[in-house]
């Protein structure tokens, strides 16, 4: 007489083993996920730091360039360049300057009603 | 059946386990409770780093937004000689061209005893990268801020300077330090085994608040015009010192302020105290004839005299209070207007006497002498103006000539600006506003009226009289408003396109309580004379060559500054067709003709 494997005690143990294995896999997956997440966070942290350093470097460079621009724009530096280029620039004399005054504002004109006389002048 | 032997064995094992767990528990208690705080601190020391984030100092800009001072980040290259001394020669040879330093000097630093030496402070990022690429051990790099003044010596006395900790030491850097300095931030971080920051677990972060920006009333271009004129004057007259101030009379705004000798605030520690002193606010001198406008305008305002009132100027010698007062050139009878034109000492003395001690002193006080003006710059002094109770018998005649009183250049230009501003004295202004990093205005410094010092009519009369100072006898002002009956003292200050009003001053200097043959020459003027936009002071201390009269030394410098500034500011010139001659009577006030 053949043994009923489904109803045997071994079959029950196999199911339990499956459940345990599933639980173990779940635990491993959770653990793996946690580690992966931590790794990603760490990687992002490193990237943030790199970006911060790069940003700070750009800010520093910007500061230096602004100071350099200010130096190049200083009146003394500009005069030096004008002399170097020998442009012979001179300011205009006052009689070469024409000042245009703002037009005098005309008094406001009240809106007029069309009169009957005007209407009679209109041609049919 | 459990035998007694088994029970005994189990009891033994249980006792052992109990003892072990008790010991373990005790150790656990010791670690977690008794030594907890020490161990926690020790652990934190291993992975926790806390550091302060220094704030970036605010910028200083001129009225048009041009940069005058800012802080920049630099690196300092340092070394640990205990490591570098081994290859010091090679390191020195490789670093010398990069750091632009002498190799011998570097070698000496790299082999000094100790574990820390700074090789160079101001090193740019490219150089640091190049040095790092060389891969030498024992070299370290530190971050630092330095203050940079892109215009070098321009406006040095006003800007001042900061120390290595970025604290204001002088000038605007000092007075506005609380706005400029900002608030440091703080950060507590965790690091890994290699000391790298774990950004995701920043434990504490107080953000840094960078300093606010300060906007001045100074105009960089006018400042440059002034400084170029002063440099030329220094070369020409070789004076001990020279100052110039440009002010807007209607608001009290200072557009330029400079003195010579000067210095470069980028290298302030290489200059002398004398060069660093702002003579515009910290030097006093007897003003001389420029002071005459104060008692004369006061007398005009009180109605004690009119422009046409005549005074006998005693042909150059006037005995008063046991002293003889003298004019540089003898004059007979002069009107008040002519006294201003020729700058008669005797005439001014007689006007002072007509005004009376008390009123004279009140006018001097009203014009702001003997008190600080309240300018936002450190080191301002109040000058000397004694009360009438301390005056000698001749003081009432001497003070109107500008003797027996001392004033700073800023006090003098402020008094002249009051006359230009229809008799209203303004508080001198050098800071316009404080601006936050986001562009919002943190604080405005509006124009402030101090008080009315003379009537508008008296101020207008004085402006009228001061036009004649720049004319020669028989000449008419460009706008035809006044005709000169005497030679003015400052023809060299006159401009071709604008009517200028002003006054010269040539004062003897006092040394050890006695007048000596050393001169303090000044010219203060404003333009356009009828509605002034600019008031300019030039004072030359002890000119060594090329003359010593205010009209000879200071007036041409004034002219240079005034002409270029008026063009730059686009101040409308007198239209050519309007330049008509005036009748002789137009120059004089008609009523009240008395001879004193």
CB of A118 within 8 Å of a chain B CB? The answer is no
Interface of A with B in 81-100 (CB under 8 A): 91, 93-95, 97, 99
Asked if residue B104 and residue B162 are part of one domain, the reply reads yes
pLDDT digits (tens, 9 = 90+) for B161-182: 998 888 999 999 999 999 999 9
Q: Are B74 and B141 in contact (CB under 8 A)?
A: no
pLDDT at B340 over 80: yes
End-to-end C-alpha distance for chain B, whole angstroms: 147
Asked if residue B523 and residue B572 are part of one domain, the reply reads yes
pLDDT, residue A63, reads 86
Phi first, then psi: what are they for B463, rounded to 5°? -60, -40
Question: Which among B70, B125, B154 has the least Cβ separation from residue A67?
Answer: B70
Helix (H) or strand (E) holding B109: helix B103-110
Q: Which of B195, B216, B237 is the last residue of a domain?
A: B216
Asked if residue B290 and residue B176 are part of one domain, the reply reads no
Q: Is residue B231 part of a domain?
A: yes
How many Å apart are CA A72 and CA B442, to the nearest integer?
Answer: 30
For residue B133, how many other CB atoms are within 10 A of its CB?
Answer: 8
pLDDT at B447 over 60: yes
Q: Which domain holds residue B200?
A: 52-216
Annotate B486-547 with three-state secondary structure.
CCCCCHHHCCCCCCCEEEEEEEEEEECCEEEEEEEEEEEEEECCCCCCEEEEEEEECCCCCC
- Within 8 A of A76 by CB-CB distance, chain B residues are 151-152, 154, 224
Q: Is residue B206 part of a domain?
A: yes
CATH number for the domain that contains residue B206: 3.90.1310.10
How many Å apart are CA B419 and CA B532, to the nearest integer?
Answer: 10
How many Å apart are CA B274 and CA B81, to the nearest integer?
Answer: 40
Report, as an integer, the average pLDDT of B563-575.
89
- Within 8 A of A74 by CB-CB distance, chain B residues are 150-151, 154, 220, 224
pLDDT digits (tens, 9 = 90+) for B485-528: 888 899 899 998 899 999 999 999 888 888 888 999 999 999 99
Structurally, chain B folds into a number of domains equal to: 2
pLDDT at B594 over 60: no
| Tokens, residue B543 | 């000119």
How many Å apart are CA B413 and CA B244, to the nearest integer?
Answer: 10
Interchain pair A70, B151: CB under 8 A: yes
Q: Are B463 and B529 in contact (CB under 8 A)?
A: yes
Helix (H) or strand (E) holding B413: helix B409-420
| Tokens, residue B110 | 């790299």
CB of A80 within 8 Å of a chain B CB? The answer is no
Q: Is residue B44 part of a domain?
A: no
Which range among A8-17, B191-200, B571-580 shows the weakest confidence by mean pLDDT? B571-580
Range with top average pLDDT, B126-140, B413-427, B511-525: B413-427
- The residues, ordered by sequence, that sit 6+ positions from B90 with a Cβ below 8 Å of its Cβ are none
| Tokens, residue B223 | 């400042």
For residue B576, how many other CB atoms are within 10 A of its CB?
Answer: 10
- C-alpha distances in Å from residue B550, one per residue of B208, B278, B304, B555: 53, 21, 29, 6
Q: Is residue B595 part of a domain?
A: no
- Within 8 A of A45 by CB-CB distance, chain B residues are 197-200
pLDDT at A101 over 50: yes
How many Å apart are CA A102 and CA A37, to the nearest integer?
Answer: 71
Interchain pair A74, B72: CB under 8 A: no
Residue A29 preceded by cis peptide, ω within 30: no
Asked if residue B254 and residue B193 are part of one domain, the reply reads no
Beta-bridge partners for B257: B245
Q: Which of B216, B232, B248 is the last residue of a domain?
A: B216
Asked if residue B321 and residue B422 are part of one domain, the reply reads yes
Q: Are B392 and B513 in contact (CB under 8 A)?
A: no
Cα angle, residue B390 at apex, residues B387 and B396 outer, rounded to 5°: 75
Asked if residue B289 and residue B175 are part of one domain, the reply reads no
Residue B595's pLDDT band, with cuts at 50, 70 and 90, is: very low
Select from A68, A74, A98, A100 the residue whose CB has the most chain B CBs within 10 Å, as the one to mutate to test that interface.
A74
Interface of B with A in 363-382 (CB under 8 A): none
Q: Is residue B113 part of a domain?
A: yes
How many Å apart are CA B560 and CA B227, to the nearest integer?
Answer: 11
Q: Is residue B162 part of a domain?
A: yes
Q: Are B441 and B435 in contact (CB under 8 A)?
A: yes
Asked if residue B176 and residue B239 are part of one domain, the reply reads no
Which position has the higher pLDDT, B575 or A20? A20
- Within 8 A of A101 by CB-CB distance, chain B residues are none
Asked if residue B345 and residue B208 are part of one domain, the reply reads no
Cα angle, residue A16 at apex, residues A14 and A20 outer, rounded to 5°: 115
User: Considering chain B, what percentage of its residues have pLDDT values greater than 90?
Assistant: 65
pLDDT, residue A109, reads 59
Question: Helices B220-237 & A75-85, crossing angle to 10 degrees?
Answer: 70
Q: Is residue B463 part of a domain?
A: yes
| Tokens, residue B337 | 């207007």
Query: Can you tell me which residue has the tokens 């386990």?
Result: B17
How many Å apart are CA B505 and CA B540, to the nearest integer?
Answer: 10
CB of B565 within 8 Å of a chain A CB? The answer is no
CATH number for the domain that contains residue B575: 3.40.710.10
User: Considering chain B, what percentage of its residues have pLDDT values greater than 70?
Assistant: 96
Q: Are B288 and B294 in contact (CB under 8 A)?
A: no
Q: Is residue B236 part of a domain?
A: yes
Asked if residue B521 and residue B546 are part of one domain, the reply reads yes
Asked if residue B245 and residue B114 are part of one domain, the reply reads no
How many Å apart are CA B161 and CA B168, to the nearest integer?
Answer: 6
User: Does the ipTM exceed 0.85?
Assistant: no
Q: What chain B residue is nearest to A67 in terms of C-alpha separation?
A: B150
Q: Are B77 and B141 in contact (CB under 8 A)?
A: yes
- C-alpha distances in Å from residue B15, one per residue of A80, B20, B29, B336: 97, 8, 20, 122
Cα angle, residue B189 at apex, residues B184 and B192 outer, rounded to 5°: 145
Interchain pair A64, B72: CB under 8 A: yes
**What long-range pairs does B592-596 form, CB within 8 A, spacing at least 24?**
B592/B306, B592/B308, B592/B309, B593/B308, B593/B309, B593/B310, B594/B309, B594/B310, B595/B310, B595/B311, B595/B312, B595/B333, B596/B305, B596/B309, B596/B310, B596/B311, B596/B312, B596/B350, B596/B354
With CA atoms as reference, report the closest residue to B420 among B340, B558, B523, B526: B526
pLDDT at B322 over 90: no
How many Å apart are CA B21 and CA B17, to the nearest integer?
Answer: 6
CB of B224 within 8 Å of a chain A CB? The answer is yes
pLDDT, residue A5, reads 55
CB of B199 within 8 Å of a chain A CB? The answer is yes
Asked if residue B466 and residue B572 are part of one domain, the reply reads yes
Asked if residue B457 and residue B311 are part of one domain, the reply reads yes
Beta-bridge partners for B204: B188
Residue B261 preceded by cis peptide, ω within 30: yes
CB of B191 within 8 Å of a chain A CB? The answer is no
Maximum distance among all Cα pairs of chain A, rounded to whole angstroms: 132
Interchain pair B224, A67: CB under 8 A: no
Q: Are B245 and B251 in contact (CB under 8 A)?
A: no
With CA atoms as reference, report the closest residue to B502 among B486, B518, B525: B525
pLDDT digits (tens, 9 = 90+) for B55-96: 999 999 999 999 999 998 888 898 999 888 888 899 999 999
pLDDT digits (tens, 9 = 90+) for A38-95: 999 888 988 998 999 899 889 888 888 988 999 998 888 988 888 888 877 787 777 7
Q: Are B451 and B371 in contact (CB under 8 A)?
A: no
pLDDT at A6 over 80: no
How many Å apart are CA B523 and CA B543, to the nearest integer?
Answer: 14
Instruction: Output DSSP code: residue B399.
Output: G
pLDDT digits (tens, 9 = 90+) for B341-386: 999 999 999 999 999 999 999 999 999 999 999 999 999 999 999 9
- Within 8 A of B73 by CB-CB distance, chain A residues are 59-60, 63-64
| Tokens, residue B370 | 């003997």
pLDDT at B586 over 80: no
With CA atoms as reference, report the closest residue to B280 among B259, B254, B250: B259
| Tokens, residue B476 | 């008419």
Provide the mean pLDDT of chain B: 90
Cα angle, residue B338 at apex, residues B332 and B339 outer, rounded to 5°: 75
With CA atoms as reference, report the closest residue to B429 among B450, B448, B453: B448
pLDDT, residue A122, reads 35
- C-alpha distances in Å from residue B216, one per residue of B158, B223, B249: 10, 12, 16
- C-alpha distances in Å from residue A28, one per residue of A15, A35, A40: 20, 10, 18
Q: Are B588 and B308 in contact (CB under 8 A)?
A: yes
How many Å apart are CA B336 and CA B342, to the nearest integer?
Answer: 10
The structure's pTM equals 0.82
Which position has the higher pLDDT, B481 or B401? B401
Question: Which among B125, B148, B224 has the least Cβ separation from residue A75?
Answer: B224
């Amino acid at each position: 007489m053949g043994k009923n494997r489904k109803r045997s005690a071994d079959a029950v143990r196999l199911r339990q083993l499956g459940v345990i294995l599933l639980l173990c896999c779940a635990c491993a997956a959770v653990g793996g996920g946690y580690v992966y997440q931590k790794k990603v966070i760490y990687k992002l942290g490193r990237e943030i730091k790199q970006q911060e350093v790069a940003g700070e470097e750009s800010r520093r460079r910007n500061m230096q360039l602004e100071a350099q621009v200010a130096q190049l724009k200083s009146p003394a530096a500009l005069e030096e360049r004008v002399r170097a280029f020998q442009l012979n620039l001179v300011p205009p004399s006052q009689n070469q300057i024409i000042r245009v005054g703002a037009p005098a504002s005309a008094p406001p004109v009240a809106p007029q009603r069309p009169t009957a006389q005007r209407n009679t002048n209109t041609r049919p | 059946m459990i035998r007694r032997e088994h029970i005994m064995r189990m009891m033994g094992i249980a006792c052992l386990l109990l003892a072990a767990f008790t010991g373990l528990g005790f150790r656990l208690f010791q670690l977690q409770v008794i030594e907890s705080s020490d161990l926690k601190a020790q652990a934190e020391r291993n992975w926790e780093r806390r550091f302060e984030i220094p704030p970036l100092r605010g910028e200083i800009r001129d009225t048009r937004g041009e940069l005058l001072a800012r802080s920049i980040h630099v690196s300092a290259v340092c070394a640990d000689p205990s490591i570098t001394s081994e290859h010091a020669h090679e390191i020195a040879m490789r670093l010398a061209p990069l750091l632009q330093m002498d190799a011998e000097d570097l070698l000496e630093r790299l082999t000094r005893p100790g574990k820390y030496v700074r090789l160079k402070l101001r090193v740019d990022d490219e150089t640091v990268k190049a040095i790092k690429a060389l891969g030498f051990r024992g070299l370290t790099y530190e971050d630092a801020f330095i203050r940079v003044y892109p215009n070098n010596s321009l406006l040095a006395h006003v800007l001042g300077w900061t120390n290595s900790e970025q604290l204001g030491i002088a000038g605007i850097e000092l007075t506005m330090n609380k706005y400029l300095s900002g608030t440091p931030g703080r950060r507590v971080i965790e690091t890994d085994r290699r000391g790298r920051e774990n950004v995701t677990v920043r434990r504490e972060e107080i953000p840094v608040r960078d300093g606010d920006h300060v906007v001045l009333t100074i105009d960089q271009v006018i400042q440059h015009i002034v400084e170029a004129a002063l440099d030329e004057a220094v070369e020409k007259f070789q004076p001990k010192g020279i100052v110039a101030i440009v002010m807007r009379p209607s608001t009290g705004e200072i557009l330029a302020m400079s003195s010579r000798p000067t210095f470069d605030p980028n290298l302030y520690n290489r200059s002398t105290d004398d060069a660093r002193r702002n003579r515009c606010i910290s030097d006093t001198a007897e003003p001389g004839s420029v002071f005459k406008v104060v008692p004369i305008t006061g007398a005009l305002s009180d109605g004690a005299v009119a422009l046409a009132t005549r005074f006998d100027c005693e042909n150059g010698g006037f005995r008063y209070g046991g002293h003889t007062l003298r004019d540089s050139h003898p004059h007979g009878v002069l009107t008040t207007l002519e006294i201003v034109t020729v700058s008669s000492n005797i005439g001014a003395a007689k006007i002072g006497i007509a005004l009376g001690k008390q009123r004279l002193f009140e006018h001097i006080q009203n014009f702001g002498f003997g008190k600080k003006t309240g300018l936002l710059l450190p080191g301002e002094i109040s000058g000397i103006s004694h009360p009438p109770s301390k005056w000698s018998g001749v003081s009432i005649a001497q003070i109107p000539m500008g003797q027996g009183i001392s004033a700073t250049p800023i006090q003098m230009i402020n008094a002249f600006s009051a006359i230009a501003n229809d008799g209203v004295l303004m508080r001198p202004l050098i800071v316009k506003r404080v601006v936050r990093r986001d562009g919002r205005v943190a604080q405005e410094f509006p124009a402030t009226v101090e008080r009315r010092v003379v009537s508008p009519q008296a101020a207008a009369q004085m402006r009228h009289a001061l036009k004649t100072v720049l004319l020669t006898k028989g000449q008419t002002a460009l706008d035809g408003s006044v005709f000169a009956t005497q030679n003015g003292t400052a023809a060299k200050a006159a401009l071709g396109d604008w009517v200028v009003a002003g006054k010269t001053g040539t004062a003897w200097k006092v040394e050890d309580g006695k007048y000596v043959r050393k001169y303090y020459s000044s010219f203060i003027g404003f333009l356009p004379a009828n509605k002034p936009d600019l008031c300019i002071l030039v004072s030359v201390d002890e000119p060594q060559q090329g003359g010593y009269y205010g009209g000879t030394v200071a007036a041409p410098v004034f002219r240079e500054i005034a002409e270029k500034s008026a063009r730059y500011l686009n101040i409308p010139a007198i239209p050519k067709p309007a330049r008509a001659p005036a009748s002789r009577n137009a120059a004089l006030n008609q009523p009240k003709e008395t001879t004193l």
